[in-house]
Structure 1
Amino acid sequence: MANKLKLALIACCFSTVTLSHAQGDIMLPENVKTPYDSYVGPKDKPAKENLAKWRDYKFGVLIHMGLYSQLGVIESWGLAPEDWVTRNGYEDYESYASDYRGARFSFNPTHLDSEKWAKMFKSAGFKYLVFTSKHHDGFCMYDSKFTDFKITNPNLPYAKNSKPDVLKDVMDASRKEGLAVGIYFSKPDWNSQDFWWKYYPPKDRNPNYNIKDHPERWQSFVKYTQNQLDELTSNYGKVDILWLDGGWIRPASNAKGRQNLDINMKHIVDNARKKQPELIVVDRTVSGEYEDFLTPERRVLEKPIPVPWESCITLGGAWGWVPNDKYKSGTQVIQLLTGIVAKGGNLLLGVGPDGKGEFEPKIKQTLAEVGKWLDVNGDAIYATKPILPYSEGNLYYTSKGEKTVFGIYLPTATEKEIPSQIVIKNSLKGKLNVMLLANKQKLNYKNVNGGISVTIPNSLRAELAKQAGVVIKVSA
């Protein structure tokens, strides 16, 4: 069944373009403009302070894990009866849906080692982790009291594990390694009878009945959703981020003519912050007071914006594990991260383990490469602010305080040597300290109009061209 159950990657969902600063084969997400005129942000001081911390983290990991990990398919989208979805090897929807949901009887990720995971994430330079408690299929990776469609169901194999609550296991281990933790939660639930009522076949990703005709059924779903979010923010220790997906579930005032799929976010957030006052919430793509930061998916903003934002981008082609996926290299991730941070954003990198709970060697290799670079260059990434001119060609800028500017040069794949002179724009006054951040080697410079021209020793230019990014620190 695992070989049979495949979903096609849809080009329109994964469109990318090559940007000029990147290495020849590096594919970075499309540049788009994201509106922020409706941004509100948290009002209470604890959440505001936590959001400020989050903005300094810069680099996080989003783990997708569920029945789709067992099957190696593109998350749970095969259950959506929409024209863009393909189900290779299947002639009818019902057979696919039956096989997909039946995967729970074989899903048994006994190789999952949360402590090993957490150490790998910390070594990679991640500062926060977001884990999928439930995707759109409704299968819970935690011990929800409001459904039997969960990995802890005593009739399923992983329930016999010593730590069957995967969400708790992963979050506890991540906290021990010093990572902030967040919970991904899908607002739609395609397993709930109050969302997809068996009386009707599903038509698309939305409820398959008219909620105006059956308001009591919709209110039952609203209560179910509120109950699940209440247990997630009550029973799993300190939660830094509540990351809500399924943005088509929204009030009519924000729904552009669609049904009024209101789940009362005010009640959910007020209730959660009574227990978790520092909680930051992202009701993603639903603009307003419950989207504490913007989350463009697989995209990077064209320009810096004055509100918090995070690009969520996959390491491979899919959010979860699929066989033979093509993963970005360490250089690609470093250059992607640099471009995002230079514009004031965070990068949330999506990875997924297979059905056994293991990450592929290529994932481990890439994360190790990124971590090695951040070990010596992280000062130019973490807790930085964007600064004009943000980027020029292959050169990207970040800053700290009023007296430090970082110029991050991203070599291309065809460069044999980096330039002998790199001009770094800045307005710092007096005698400056200029050095390569990675090894603290001092560099000579001369003042030029609008900044300084830094001399790169000829003996280093070829070696530095092999790096993913060369960081020059300029401080007054």
Structure 2
Amino acid sequence: MAKLEDMEEKQGIEDKEDVVEEGVHNYSTEEYYVAPTDPKVLQKLEWFQDQKLALMMHWGVYSQLGIVESWALSDADAEWSRNCIDWEVTGEEFKKQYFDLNKTFNPIRFQPEKWAEIAQEAGMKYFIFTTKHHDGFCMWDTKYSDYKITNEDCPFHTHRYADVCAHLFEAFRKKGIGIATYFSKADWHIDSYWNTKFEKGSYQNRGPSYNPSEYPEEWERFVQFTGNQIMELGTKYGKIDIMWFDAGWVCKQNNQDIRLGEVIDKIRKFQPGMLCADRTVGGAYENYVTPEQCVPDKPLNIPWESNITLGNSFAYSYEDDYKDPREIVNLLIDIVAKGGNLAINVAPQPDGRLPQKAICSLKGLGKWLKIYGDAIYGTRACKPYKKDGIAFTKKDDVVYAIQGFSDETDSVAKEVFIPYEGNVKEIRCFKTNKALEYNKKENGYMIHLPEYESDEAPYARVFSLI
């Protein structure tokens, strides 16, 4: 593992904005990982690696438009993010209309308890929610910004669930689901970050409108504002298991140090062991890494979580296509076999409901996990990880061999070769717990199974190697 000072020197030559391409983030590699030394944080990392499955949600004013979250505000990202938007050459009218979306955001069909019930039925173990995306709109009752869902210019502010984060976090905690607060370190609404008075005028990119080294007082205003909001979330909204920070270009290596570590250390006095995912930055406050819309080719030797959308985008998109349960199950198996967690993103509708097609996929995932969850939750990676169509996990002295089927028309053979070279005393069918006949081969075991009696291949079947 890298030492912190070595990692910072190495990363200092990089442009942190390059880690994001068309809104999709890259992820830190093992060489930049700094293992925590706090025993409580280490204990929490073990908890994290047990969970395996998270529900992630991007929800904000942008859901009304059905476009990518926040990114269309950045002039530097206009070419890819303003598709199908009627905007002027400068984009100024569009940006004004976007920032005014708070005046029409009124999700009166929002049901936090229903969301939590669906998450529980889907087998979710922790919940990552966008408290604030790059556009700066706050989904909690912050006292440091008027650009929030509880402000009087937002029609939802009179609703009993107006403080969205408070009600969501409580509803999910009651279901035994952990809480992670997504928070963008960039804020494109606050004038201490984006301001037309500087050289660039109205043209904006992902970073601040100015060089923090040249305008230290302006930057300090932003640092204080950001720290205050993070402290709010960490001290006034109940138990927080993870603080999940986006906008990795806001970092010390870009002369944009918000002194995040100081804030996290303060919060950990109230929230001992709380994890911090300062994604794409590396170092002591990126306790786990976050591949986005991808799965690493090989296992990582550090804690990690793939953030993958159930539909085609993180934000709500009208007439979106959703992954079916079979696809999600096999995605989860691939990730867990490589030692990671899956955070599956479901974007709520602008009216406050979850899309029905998304709910069906989640419930299908949960139905499989109710039977086979012990081969997923609480497991760790096990060599050979994934080979010849068989994925492996391990818990205590039991190795689970998981055979996935990508299509319902796949052939379900009566004999299955398990390429596992460890010693095995018996092999059982996980679902029935019945012992199976098998023969030891040079590089594994050949299992002999009863005739499969369905016309449709299962999502996956599991064998216990004892």
Note whether the superposition's TM-score is higher than 0.5. Answer: yes
Structure 1 residue 473 displacement after superposition: 1.5
Matching of residues 84-103 of structure 1 within 5 Å: 84-87=80-83, 88-92=85-89, 93-103=91-101
Deviations 1:361-400 (A, max 9, x none): 1100000100000000111111111111111132111111
Deviations 1:277-328 (A, max 9, x none): 1200000000111100010111111111221011111111111211011111
Q: Is residue 107 of structure 1 aligned with residue 105 of structure 2?
A: yes
Give the corresponding residue for 2:226: 225
Give the corresponding residue for 1:333: 328
Give the corresponding residue for 2:14: none
Contact 1:194/1:217 (CA < 8 Å) preserved in 2?
yes
Distance 1:138 1:366, change over 3 A: same
Distance 1:414 1:379, change over 3 A: closer
Matching of residues 314-463 of structure 1 within 5 Å: 314-401=309-396, 403-413=397-407, 415-427=409-421, 429=423, 431-432=425-426, 434-460=427-453, 462-463=454-455
Deviations 1:141-176 (A, max 9, x none): 000100000000023211111121101110000000
Deviations 1:78-114 (A, max 9, x none): 1011243324222241111111111111111111111
Please give the secondary structure, in 2, of the residue aligned with 1:234.
Answer: helix
Please give the secondary structure, in 2, of the residue aligned with 1:327.
Answer: coil
Contact 2:382/2:393 (CA < 8 Å) preserved in 1?
yes
Give the corresponding residue for 1:37: 31
Please give the secondary structure, in 2, of the residue aligned with 1:333.
Answer: helix
Q: Is residue 64 of structure 1 aligned with residue 64 of structure 2?
A: no
Please give the secondary structure, in 2, of the residue aligned with 1:138.
Answer: coil
Distance 1:33 1:356, change over 3 A: closer
Deviations 1:239-282 (A, max 9, x none): 00000000000112xx4xxxx01101221211111111120000
Give the corresponding residue for 1:25: none
Contact 1:138/1:192 (CA < 8 Å) preserved in 2?
yes
Contact 1:41/1:290 (CA < 8 Å) preserved in 2?
no
Q: 1 CA distance for matches of 2:134 and 2:28?
A: 25
Structure 1 residue 13 displacement after superposition: 4.5
Give the corresponding residue for 2:279: 284
Scaled by the length of structure 2, what TM-score is found?
0.90
Please give the secondary structure, in 1, of the residue aligned with 2:244.
Answer: strand
Q: 1 CA distance for matches of 2:93 and 2:122?
A: 41
Give the corresponding residue for 1:473: 464
Q: 2 CA distance for matches of 1:355 and 1:436?
A: 45
Report the AA paired with residue 154 of structure 2. L
Matching of residues 135-150 of structure 1 within 5 Å: 135-150=133-148
Structure 1 residue 430 displacement after superposition: 6.1
Distance 1:359 1:414, change over 3 A: closer
Structure 1 residue 198 displacement after superposition: 3.0
Structure 1 residue 65 displacement after superposition: 0.7
Give the corresponding residue for 2:203: 202
Distance 1:412 1:134, change over 3 A: closer
Structure 1 residue 63 displacement after superposition: 0.7
Contact 2:28/2:279 (CA < 8 Å) preserved in 1?
no
Please give the secondary structure, in 2, of the residue aligned with 1:435.
Answer: strand
Q: Is residue 272 of structure 1 aligned with residue 263 of structure 2?
A: no
Give the corresponding residue for 1:23: none
Give the corresponding residue for 2:176: 178
Q: What stretches of structure 2 of length at least 5 have no aligned partner?
A: 1-20
Please give the secondary structure, in 2, of the residue aligned with 1:390.
Answer: strand
Q: 1 CA distance for matches of 2:162 and 2:27?
A: 42
Contact 1:194/1:220 (CA < 8 Å) preserved in 2?
yes
Give the corresponding residue for 2:293: 298
Scaled by the length of structure 1, what TM-score is found?
0.88
Structure 1 residue 38 displacement after superposition: 2.1
Distance 1:46 1:430, change over 3 A: closer
Contact 2:173/2:179 (CA < 8 Å) preserved in 1?
yes
Q: 2 CA distance for matches of 1:436 and 1:14?
A: 43
Contact 1:105/1:156 (CA < 8 Å) preserved in 2?
yes
Report how many aligned residue pairs link the two structures.
Answer: 439
Give the corresponding residue for 1:4: none
Q: Is residue 246 of structure 1 aligned with residue 242 of structure 2?
A: no
Contact 2:307/2:344 (CA < 8 Å) preserved in 1?
yes
Q: 2 CA distance for matches of 1:231 and 1:35?
A: 31
Q: What stretches of structure 1 of length at least 5 have no aligned partner?
A: 1-11, 16-28
Runs of 4+ in 1 over 6 A off after TM superposition: none
